[in-house]
Amino acid sequence: MDSAQTDLLRELLDGTAWFGECRGFARSLRRAPRTPGGLLLVGTPEEEPWHLAAHLDTEAGLSGLPQLAPTLIRHRVPDGAPPHLAVPLNRLVEARRGEAVLVVAPDDPGVPLLERVDDARRRGAAILTVAEGEETSGELLSLSHDALLVPENGVVPGFDAAQHLLAATAGELDGRGGRGARRGFRDRLTAFIDQLSGGSADTYR
């Protein structure tokens, strides 16, 4: 998704219960890390949150919120990785009050990650989670101070789209787009379809 598609999807979802939850979670994300580098972003052993890391870094610069620029934590650090991509999982053990651990879990987080998240929580770090569902992330959710679940009912078109929306919303100081007058639901829907398909919105009227 590009920024235009993200804006259209955000307009489409504005007023829904899920987007209200997203805004609340974005506020937690802005407030929990108190220093630059204090947002520790980690995925699962199978999925590293590269896109969310890049989008949060961009939003940190655009919004003047340096605490949003994440430190990417990796389960496996390859030989020769540059320093900013060579932060191992054990960094979570050193997490402390004033830092936040953001766990992105589209699948099973695994026991080693859960143990380190528990350590971080005990040391006073805020634990925030974005998860696909409760089935594979129940224990992780029990450790979290705040969580955003991506619904499986099609309200949000996928886990990646939810991350785009979260990053964009986190960079807004008041949690709102402020992008002009709202359009009707039908107009927003057809515009979004038009952006995704590359066709004319009139086709779907």
How far apart (Å, rounded) are the C-alpha atoms in residues 33 and 127? 10
pLDDT (0 to 100) of residue 148: 96
**HSE value, Cβ hemisphere, 13 Å, CA-based, for 77:** 16
Residue (of 87, 103, 124, 77) closest to 166 by Cα position? 103
Counting the structural domains of the chain, the total is: 1
pLDDT (0 to 100) of residue 179: 35
How far apart (Å, rounded) are the C-alpha atoms in residues 162 and 104? 11
Domain, as residue range, for 179: 3-204
pLDDT (0 to 100) of residue 36: 92
Give residue 80's region: left, alpha or beta (phi > 0; psi -120 to 50). Answer: left
pLDDT (0 to 100) of residue 120: 97
**DSSP labels for 34-95?**
-STT-EEEE--SS---HHHHHHHHHHHHHHT-GGGSEEEEESS--TT--GGG-EEGGGGGG-
The CATH code of the domain that includes 84 is 3.40.50.10490
Amino acid at 169: T
For residues 68 and 170, the answer to whether their CB atoms sit within 8 Å is yes
How confident is the prediction along the chain (205 residues), in pLDDT tens digits per residue? Answer: 667 777 888 888 888 899 999 999 999 999 999 999 999 999 999 999 999 999 999 999 999 999 999 999 999 999 999 999 999 999 999 999 999 999 999 999 999 999 999 999 999 999 999 998 777 678 999 999 999 999 887 788 889 989 999 999 998 865 444 333 333 444 545 555 555 555 443 333 3
